[in-house]
Each structure stands twice: as C-alpha cells, then as structure tokens.
Amino acid sequence: MSATQLPRQVKVIEVGPRDGLQNEKQLVPLATKIELVDRLSAAGFANVEAASFVSPKWVPQMADGAEVMAGIARRPGTIYSVLTPNMKGFEGALAARADEVVIFGAASEAFSQRNINCSIAESVARFAPVARAAKDAGLRLRGAISCCLGCPYQGEVPVAAVVDVVQRLQALGCDEIDIADTIGVGTAGQTRTVIEAAAKVFPIERLSGHFHDTYGQALANIYAALLSGITIFHSSVAGLGGCPYAKGATGNVATEDVLYLLQGLGIETGIDLEQVVETGDFISQAIGRANASRAGRALLTKMRDRAAAASA
C-alpha cells in the first residue's frame, strides 16, 4: 500500500435525491424532491445526482425523473446527474437536459442479474450505445460499479472482477468511475486494496468512492480511500437510502458526517455544512424518517441552541 498525502480539495457528489430516495416505500411528493435538489445545489454541491431514468416497474419511486428535472432551479455550474441503464433511459435523460448520465454495472454477476436483469457482459453491450450517444451529445459519462467490496447474493467479490469492470467501463469512455460498496460491508484495508488495484488501470483522480454505511465502516473507508489518493466521494444527506435490489443495506454514508470529517482534516469542498444540516432536517421531516446523520443531529442541536441564545 502506498501512503499518499491527504488532498487539499475533494469533490463530494450528493446522491440523496436518487440513491437516497429510490428505496422509500411511500411515494415522495414531486415538490419535496424538487425542493431537496434545489436546497442541495444552493448549499454548493458541484454535482447532484437528481433522478433515475429506469423502469418504473423496477423502481416506482423514480418514475417522475422527468418532472424532477423540469422543476428544479438549475444553478449555473452544477452538474445534475441521472441514472440511465439503457437507450430508453438515455433518451429520457437527454430530453430532461441532464448534464451527466450514469451507466451502472456490477462486479458481481448475481447482483447484475437482480438489479438490471442481465449479465455483466450483456450490461456492457447495453451501455455501449448509451456511452456513444452521451459523447455525441456532449454529456459527461459516469460509470458506477456495484458490489466492489461484497455482494448480497454471491458474498465475496474478487478484486480482479472489479478491475475487469473498471477496464470495460474505461473502454466505453467513462469520465469518472465509481467504486461502490453497495451493501456497506467493506473495511478500510479492503478498500485500499480494491482502490489501488483499480487505480493501476484507471486514473485515480477520476475514480470515486461510493460507500454505504450498513456496518458503520463508511467513514473509515473514506479515510482509507483518501490515503490511497481518491478525491471524489458520494454521500447522501441525512444518510438516506439503500438499493431496492440489495436487501438489508442501509443508506449511503451521511453527507453531513463526510463534510464534518473533511472539514476536520482541513480539506476544502466548497459546500456549506450548515445548509446541508438544515437540508437533512428538512428531508427527514418531509418523509417522516429519523435523521441518520450523527454529525447532522449534533450540529442541528447546536445551531438551534445558538439561534435561541441569539433571540433571548
């Protein structure tokens, strides 16, 4: 393992409106989704994953992606990303004026079948026209790889399987590739091993870490990934989320917790932590869920105490 100095700056991609909400059983009102995206872009995220253009039979919560994209107030410079598993999804994304499309595969055959109903090889064949169309339209192209640190159906996932999918997505021209721990089982040493293997075949500055927090390891994994040289991370405000095809997996690592960690390390993100804390409170209340961010809850109490003291 090669020790690297910590970076001065990190890009945090907020995935709450997509990865966070997609697993909610009750349909979240369109206005709430739009307000969530707008609050997040106002807080300073350079990239917000706003919606999915997937089959509404597979993920009913994401059926209104076009309406979400039509309703948001676009902040200049913010990249609004959407998931596109096939050309039908891409056409929806293009019509909705997405800035970045995300093709999403897996390092595990079993998960690929459950999540997108095809093998890894078939998925790459389906992604190829999406990738070409994205390039032709001048859109950014991101590739997500699920189950890089473990699979809910197959268990262990060989590092070589992750590297193989990284290479296939690279061949499609992905600008960025996400190493995802879909079910949050990975540990810090494993994270470094997988990331450093992926970085041998794809530039590390364009690899990202997408960690779920099921086993409470996500922040440790982020720190490990930082030491390996990763400078792009995904997180979800209030720790919302989970994947409908990864039973038992909890949400992404909470954005508030990640920002608190990075702030403590003196790493810049350009994001206003207090605005994110307020947004975490807004969405938790709106969908009737406990706020899963520990930093978010602690900071909210402090912010309320401060406001009460100021008005006393």
State yes or no: residue 14 binds Mg ion (CB under 5 A): no
- Minimum distance of ligand HMG from residue 100's CB (angstroms): 13
The listed partner (ligand HMG, Mg ion, none) that binds 146, CB under 5 to 8 Å by sort, is ligand HMG
The listed partner (Mg ion, ligand HMG, none) that binds 271, CB under 5 to 8 Å by sort, is none
State yes or no: residue 19 binds Mg ion (CB under 5 A): yes
- Minimum distance of Mg ion from residue 4's CB (angstroms): 25
- SS3 helix, strand, coil % of the chain, rounded to 5? 45, 15, 35
Show the tokens assigned to 3: 């020790």
The listed partner (Mg ion, ligand HMG, none) that binds 61, CB under 5 to 8 Å by sort, is none
| Site residue total, ligand HMG (CB under 6 A) | 24
Closest by CA to 240, choosing from 203, 283, 191, is 283
Dist. CA 164–CA 169, nearest whole Å: 9
Annotate each residue in 111-150 with x if it binds ligand HMG (CB under 6 A) or - if it does not, as one string.
----xxx--------------------------x-x----
Strand partners, 211: 181
Annotate each residue in 10-39 with x if it binds ligand HMG (CB under 6 A) or - if it does not, as one string.
---------x--x-----------------
Distance set, CA 196 to CA 74, 119, 191 (Å): 36, 26, 8
Burial class (CB within 10 angstroms; exposed 0-12, middle 13-18, buried 19+) of 295: buried
Near ligand HMG in 52-111, by CB under 6 A: 52-55, 58-59, 83, 85-86, 88-89, 104
Show the tokens assigned to 205: 């500055």
Q: Is 112 helix (H, G, I), strand (E, B) or coil?
A: helix
- Minimum distance of ligand HMG from residue 137's CB (angstroms): 16
- 267's torsion region: left (phi>0), alpha (psi -120 to 50) or beta? beta
Nearer to Mg ion, 14 or 19 (CB): 19
The listed partner (Mg ion, ligand HMG, none) that binds 301, CB under 5 to 8 Å by sort, is none
Distance set, CA 217 to CA 62, 152, 182, 226, 250 (Å): 28, 17, 12, 14, 12
Nearer to ligand HMG, 73 or 87 (CB): 87
A 10 A CB-CB count for 261 gives 19
- In the residue annotation, 118 being an active-site residue is answered as no
Closest by CA to 47, choosing from 6, 91, 17, 87, is 17
Active-site residues: which are they? 243
Residues near ligand HMG (CB under 6 A): 19, 22, 52-55, 58-59, 83, 85-86, 88-89, 104, 115-117, 144, 146, 180, 182, 210, 243, 245
Report the interface residues with Mg ion, using CB under 5 A: 19
